[in-house]
Amino acid sequence: MNHYGARCQVCDLNFENKYGKVGKDFIHVHHIIPLHQLQQDYIVDPKQDLIPVCPNCHAMLHCKENGRYLSIAQLRKRILNHNRA
Ligand SMILES: [Zn+2]
Ligand SMILES: [Zn+2]
């Protein structure tokens, strides 16, 4: 969490900048590897496995498109393309 700060890793929305202190705790944390897929002795690396995202992008990460979840990179690309259009 401290590694990234309160910034969405998909759309770059910074909650603390935007909403001030109240936004700092509002960021969601997404597990890159679904928790049910982890081995029991797996040690979560917060830098690699936990990604701060805003609630909007988080919801998208949990939506399937054509039966597959979108990755952070795919979602990010989509938002960037959208902004450019
Ligand atoms: Zn976002
Ligand atoms: Zn999640």
pLDDT digits 0-9 by tens, 10-56 = 999 998 888 888 887 788 999 887 666 667 787 877 777 889 999 99
* Domain total of the chain: 1
User: Cβ(67)–Cβ(18) under 8 Å?
Assistant: no
Q: Does residue 72 belong to any structural domain of this protein?
A: yes
- Residue 68 three-state SS: strand
pLDDT for 11:
93
Q: Does residue 46 belong to any structural domain of this protein?
A: yes
Q: Tell me how far the alpha carbon of residue 6 lies from the centroid of ligand 2, in angstroms.
A: 15
From CA 60, how far away is CA 68, in angstroms rounded? 12
Around ion ligand 1, residues with a beta carbon closer than 5 Å are 8, 10-11, 13, 54, 57
Q: Does residue 71 belong to any structural domain of this protein?
A: yes
More confident call, 13 vs 81: 13
Q: Does residue 10 belong to any structural domain of this protein?
A: no
Q: Tell me how far the alpha carbon of residue 61 lies from the centroid of ligand 2, in angstroms.
A: 7
Record the tokens describing residue 63, joined without a space.
């939506």
Record the tokens describing residue 78, joined without a space.
């989509």
- Global pTM reads 0.74
From CA 26, how far away is CA 73, in angstroms rounded? 22
Average pLDDT over every residue of 58-75: 92
What domain range includes position 53? 15-84
Q: Does residue 79 belong to any structural domain of this protein?
A: yes
